[in-house]
Chains A and B, each alone.
Chain A
């Protein structure tokens, strides 16, 4: 079996791409890479376009080696990866919508992000005017005796993001779920092109509100990789503190919200209180409840004070006091367990095929956690465990979150006690030539990938890949043969991002 390094040697290496290599390859190498991914030897981390090129990020799961292969497509076509590897389908449909590049052999040529509302087609490629009449979107068929369809969204009943779900049910049992997303598409990658580093960092922090830290973190690390910036130690550690606070708040909220979708509101009420306490401590420590705009390329914008440290420690103590009783309540409530155990099972094989990250992957036997596998600082010198379960049901996804709350508490303790002194940031030297960087950061939802190219101090192209790209399609698989009433439960246990994938 050839290694990723051999694959890189087949192509023309690109200078100034860090920290992992990128090579421009020919069609046969592109085919070979797609086939290795389809056979499960490598994982697909991302697939994105430019006006006349496509890029694919690949990881060797055994060695955690990462590489990017690129294919020039002057004729605006490239061989489809999705034809062999279904996780690439939506990515290739999006590349078509945004850049007008066609994946040859793509089994599903329907648009994905383009709902015929923009007035233009291929907004990031060679733009043309959109046809005046919108074509209807055809949902996949499900036929049989007594089937009925249930259409849900884009405006949902709760306080959640917009998307459309088309269920086909036989009685109460879901036969097929098809998602249609793209409603929150804001054109962020279009706004990124030509933006200054500062403005681009602001935009990156607004891709997905619940992961604002993870996105700013990944974006900043990608920019620093491109510019070969060395971030001061104190900033490196503060970033991990911010990331763990975000993870803690979100996991606490999710554990409660999943139980709430099983009509067990007591857990929800208590978890919401704990979540709120984390947000308040975040505000007193860093001036923003969601910790927005604190991480920037080069470092962080705010330091933590004595009072901030104390506020966080008080919250940690309180969670350690209150949380165990909630776990016990979850574990000992039979009516709640009846809803979560064996519901919405994701098989380890599917999790592996889709390289599903976050709690979803780790509840289905895929142990990948970027903090451990890629060991970016300061996680290389912190002690923590990566909890993994194999059951893959709603219950397993709850338990992974519970264990990760405990790990985050321990991590925050370590960070606060070992926080080095020193400056908060460094400035980038001006570089005229094109420089490229990539970063992968573990957000609460999974691995966030950012790839960018800087030229003359401005962003030329920036791609941000949410973990949800490889999680949403699995929700379609998971709900099959479950009852319609369990969909909210399954959906919440996944908690994929709409805004992150719509971008």
Chain B
């Protein structure tokens, strides 16, 4: 372990690798999210993720936001374990009827001010699951949504871009939920 840790003292961090076009976008976006988040919320924005019946694809990519390449925590964006600690709810899935009540209760457990981001194509309108007897079809059918991030699943870069858009909107409206 000491050897691994020692090596990483000298190795360049993954976040500063010579950027491919995609990596450059990440770095740029991530910087913007950081500035806006600091202006609005001091130095932090706490995110609580809720799976409202997704296929788990969106969760995999939200996980990726925490890896060394995207490392959202360096900008004060962090995922928290309880809705009571959260500023933002990131909701995935078409909202199954079996998850509707749990989603509502989680929303009500989150203190104001709060924002809701619906992640993925099925979070918008049910996506390919729309019309099933078992789904509500979209997060906005259950709780108010501030932003949709499309994709199946959206890439981590797209999610960073989405969080930025949310912060811009939050900044331009002094009065928010």
Binding site for B on A (CB under 8 A): 115, 117-120, 123, 154-155, 157-162, 182-188, 190-191, 199, 202-203, 206-210, 212, 253, 266, 269-270, 272-273, 275-276, 279, 289-290, 292, 325, 329, 332-333, 497-499
Contacts and interface: CB of A to CB of B under 8 A. Distances in A.
A202 B55 CA distance: 12
Nearest to B79: A159
B98 A182 contact: yes
B74 to A, nearest CB: 13
B169 interface: no
A131 to B, nearest CB: 15
Interface of B: 1, 3-5, 14, 49-64, 66-69, 79, 81-83, 93-94, 96-102, 106, 128-129, 131-135, 152-153, 155
B51 A184 contact: yes
B90 to A, nearest CB: 9
Contact of A210 (B57, B102, B128, B133): B57
Given A182-B98, A269-B67, 11 more contacts: A120-B133, A157-B82, A158-B81, A184-B51, A184-B96, A186-B134, A188-B132, A191-B129, A209-B58, A212-B57, A325-B3
Given A118-B133, A289-B61, A155 B98 contact: no
Contacts of A498: 56
A269 B135 contact: no
30 contacts: A117-B101, A118-B134, A155-B50, A158-B81, A159-B51, A159-B63, A161-B54, A183-B99, A184-B54, A184-B98, A184-B99, A185-B98, A186-B134, A191-B131, A191-B132, A199-B128, A202-B128, A206-B55, A206-B128, A209-B55, A210-B57, A253-B63, A266-B1, A272-B67, A273-B14, A290-B153, A325-B4, A329-B4, A333-B1, A497-B56
Contacts of A289: 61, 155
Nearest to A191: B132
Contacts of A499: 53-56
A202 B57 CA distance: 14
| Most chain B beta carbons < 10 A, residue from A154, A158, A208, A292 | A154
A183 B82 CA distance: 19
A290 B61 CA distance: 9
A41 to B, nearest CB: 36
| Most chain B beta carbons < 10 A, residue from A118, A157, A159 | A159
Contact of B57 (A118, A185, A292): A292
A117 B98 contact: yes
Contacts of B67: 269, 272-273, 275-276
Nearest to A498: B56
A292 B5 contact: no
